[in-house]
């Protein structure tokens, strides 16, 4: 049995040395005060064990009394260090802190004051009984504080941190029972009692290990309920069709996975998309979310992703015990990006359909109104009024047809199914055709400066469509003078249509090539799709298109075409 006890003692010592190394490594990786105290606590216990091993060889005979006094003092400080670990997350009341300090101080002072060593089998003096009582009381008080702090602190945490904290609470209680048993039996230590205390102590040290550095497989088992929730969240996220819906699904799940107090979602452009359970001022939330630095308060966790950031207000225990949950949450970024982009695309599509319907409604209702007026009141209309009505019918019919044609082209371009036939073309020829298709209205003069010998690689019909769109645009928004010219550049031929009108307002430029973007001054007779379509057409015929302000004033649209080989 003695041999078993010795083996258990050595294994227990090994576990404490291992715990010290694990805590020290974690402490180096993340400088949390709790980890410092855990390292000191288990380090001191491991040191006592190692020195005890050496002392068995009886090397330091002369220094034995003071060495043992010192070791006793360190042993008394172990529960105090562990207590500092447990209260590093949340301070207990002043009374509790005062009691912990006082009992530790008394026990250390008593240890340093003992007059001599009393070996087993020697008569037990009264001061030794009192001393033993003081130490047992100090250990018991401190371990009870540690256990209750961790046990009740775990309330409301998610499974992994809760299990870790409660494992540590149980380890503390086990350690306390072991010390109580060995203390009570100290005068007359039986082999069996020593075995029981060694087993208890080893069991507790293993529990400490599990609580502080749980193995991955155990974390996996513990996390199962949260994983089920996580999978549900992902399923819901991908069914979401708006940013609001993404936020509404994401935030409660994030809060549940971490056991947090609240969460907020902020877009990359600094818009607060949603909050859940937090009452912080919106400007503070946005500043915190977009800051490059880590949040000052350790209990605010930021999950940054491509399209924005999520902030989570956690419990004070989370930064230590929920590291693995944070890692899981950080992995959500990709899903959130996908869900947000997907819902933004759905929103764009809804807008597009609404805009298209709105644009179609105007010509169709005008046609309907004119037709019913002609049907009901033709007799009371003058001949000129009838002519106006017929012209309006023609104009609005043409407008509806143009809109539908552009919508179809745009749909084909987005699906990349547009048929093009690239061939060598004479640019001036295409310009001439475009001018015939879109002749300048009265009062507008078009100057063409395109040399007849300039050739490029393009689809002539599509290029003509682009030019007609650009010309119609210039007639609608520009001044009385429109210029078409070409420029030869190293990487191709640039065809430019410019006007001397007011130019594109600065705030409109970023959206210029989006469908249904319209500037002021629009006689809303176009489809609202001309520029969006032209840019995509230019790209479909292996070219490119861009806007720049004309000099000294006006708008200038350039189309780059491939040079003929």
Q: Which is nearer to another protein, 296 or 376 (CB)?
A: 376
CB atoms within 10 A of CB 416: 8
C-alpha closest to that of 362 among 388, 395, 408, 400: 400
Q: Which is nearer to another protein, 31 or 520 (CB)?
A: 520
Contact between residue 541 and residue 459 where contact means Cβ atoms under 8 Å apart: yes
Measured CA to CA, the distance from residue 254 to residue 261 in angstroms comes to: 10
Q: Which is nearer to another protein, 288 or 555 (CB)?
A: 555
x/- track of binding to another protein for residues 152-191 (CB under 8 A)? ----------------------------------------
Shortest distance, position 476 Cβ to another protein, whole Å: 10
Q: Which is nearer to another protein, 241 or 355 (CB)?
A: 355
Site residues for another protein, 356-395, by CB under 8 A, read 358, 361-362, 365-366, 368-370, 372-373, 377, 380-381, 385, 388-389, 392, 395
Measured CA to CA, the distance from residue 69 to residue 48 in angstroms comes to: 12
Measured CA to CA, the distance from residue 178 to residue 201 in angstroms comes to: 6
Contact between residue 273 and residue 290 where contact means Cβ atoms under 8 Å apart: no
Site residues for another protein, 515-554, by CB under 8 A, read 520-525
Report how many residues bind another protein under the rule CB under 8 A. Answer: 25
Q: Which is nearer to another protein, 50 or 386 (CB)?
A: 386
Shortest distance, position 562 Cβ to another protein, whole Å: 38
Q: What angle do CA 43, 146, 313 make, to 5 degrees?
A: 100
Site membership for another protein, residue 505 (CB under 8 A): no
Contact between residue 447 and residue 484 where contact means Cβ atoms under 8 Å apart: yes
Contact between residue 359 and residue 403 where contact means Cβ atoms under 8 Å apart: yes
Shortest distance, position 518 Cβ to another protein, whole Å: 9
Shortest distance, position 396 Cβ to another protein, whole Å: 6
Shortest distance, position 369 Cβ to another protein, whole Å: 5
Shortest distance, position 290 Cβ to another protein, whole Å: 31
Burial zone of 124 (CB within 10 Å; 0-12 exposed, 13-18 middle, 19+ buried)? middle
x/- track of binding to another protein for residues 69-108 (CB under 8 A)? ----------------------------------------
Residues 6+ apart with CB under 8 A from 331: none
**What's the half-sphere exposure (Cβ side, CA atoms, 13 Å) at 538?**
26
C-alpha closest to that of 516 among 411, 417, 413, 407: 407
Q: Which is nearer to another protein, 365 or 421 (CB)?
A: 365
Whose tokens are 């100290």? That residue is: 186
Which residues here bind another protein, judged by CB under 8 A? 358, 361-362, 365-366, 368-370, 372-373, 377, 380-381, 385, 388-389, 392, 395-396, 520-525
């Amino acid at each position: 049995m003695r041999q078993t006890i010795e083996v258990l003692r050595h294994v227990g010592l090994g576990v404490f040395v291992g715990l010290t190394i694990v805590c020290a490594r974690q402490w180096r990786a993340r400088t949390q005060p709790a980890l410092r105290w855990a390292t000191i606590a288990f380090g001191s216990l491991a040191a006592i064990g190692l020195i005890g091993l050496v002392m068995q060889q009886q090397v330091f005979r002369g220094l034995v009394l003071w060495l043992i006094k010192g070791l006793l003092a360190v042993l008394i400080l172990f529960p105090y260090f562990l207590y500092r670990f447990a209260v590093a997350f949340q301070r207990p009341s002043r009374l509790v802190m005062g009691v912990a300090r006082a009992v530790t101080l008394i026990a250390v002072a008593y240890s340093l004051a003992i007059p001599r060593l009393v070996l087993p089998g020697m008569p037990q003096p009264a001061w030794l009984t009192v001393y033993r009582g003081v130490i047992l009381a100090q250990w018991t008080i401190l371990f009870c504080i540690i256990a209750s702090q961790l046990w009740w602190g775990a309330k409301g945490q998610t499974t992994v941190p809760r299990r870790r904290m409660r494992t540590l609470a149980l380890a503390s209680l086990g350690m306390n029972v072991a010390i109580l048993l060995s203390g009570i039996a100290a005068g007359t230590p039986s082999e069996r009692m020593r075995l029981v205390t060694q087993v208890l102590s080893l069991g507790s040290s293993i529990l400490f290990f599990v609580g502080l550095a749980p193995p991955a497989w155990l974390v996996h088992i513990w996390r199962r309920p949260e994983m089920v929730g996580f999978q549900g969240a992902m399923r819901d996220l991908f069914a979401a069709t708006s940013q609001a819906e993404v936020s509404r699904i994401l935030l409660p799940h994030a809060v549940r996975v971490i056991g947090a107090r609240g969460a907020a979602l902020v877009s990359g452009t600094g818009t607060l998309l949603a909050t859940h359970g937090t009452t912080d001022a919106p400007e503070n939330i946005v500043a915190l979310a977009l800051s490059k630095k880590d949040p000052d308060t350790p209990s605010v966790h930021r999950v940054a992703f491509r399209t924005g950031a999520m902030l989570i207000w956690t419990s004070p225990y989370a930064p230590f015990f929920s590291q693995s949950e944070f890692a899981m949450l950080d992995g959500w970024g990709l899903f959130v990006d996908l869900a947000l982009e997907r819902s933004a695309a759905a929103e764009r599509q809804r807008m597009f359909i609404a805009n298209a319907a709105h644009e179609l409604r105007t010509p169709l209702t005008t046609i309907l109104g004119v037709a019913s007026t002609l049907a009901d009141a033709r007799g009371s209309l003058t001949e000129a009024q009838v002519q106006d009505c017929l012209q309006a019918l023609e104009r609005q019919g043409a407008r509806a047809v143009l809109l539908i044609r552009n919508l179809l082209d745009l749909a084909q371009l987005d699906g990349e199914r547009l048929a093009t036939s690239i061939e060598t073309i004479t640019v001036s020829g295409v310009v001439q055709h475009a001018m015939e298709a879109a002749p300048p209205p009265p009062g507008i003069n078009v100057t063409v400066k395109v040399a007849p010998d300039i050739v490029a690689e393009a689809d002539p019909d599509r290029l003509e469509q682009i030019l007609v769109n650009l010309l119609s645009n210039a007639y609608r928004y520009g001044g009385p003078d429109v210029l078409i010219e070409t420029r030869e550049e190293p990487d191709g031929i640039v065809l430019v249509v410019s006007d001397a009108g007011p130019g594109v307002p600065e705030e409109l430029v970023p959206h210029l090539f989006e469908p249904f973007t319209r500037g002021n001054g629009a006689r809303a007779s176009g489809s609202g799709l001309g520029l969006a379509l032209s840019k995509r057409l230019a790209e479909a015929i292996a070219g490119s298109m861009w806007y720049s302000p004309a000099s000294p004033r006006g708008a200038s649209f350039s189309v780059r075409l491939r040079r003929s080989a």
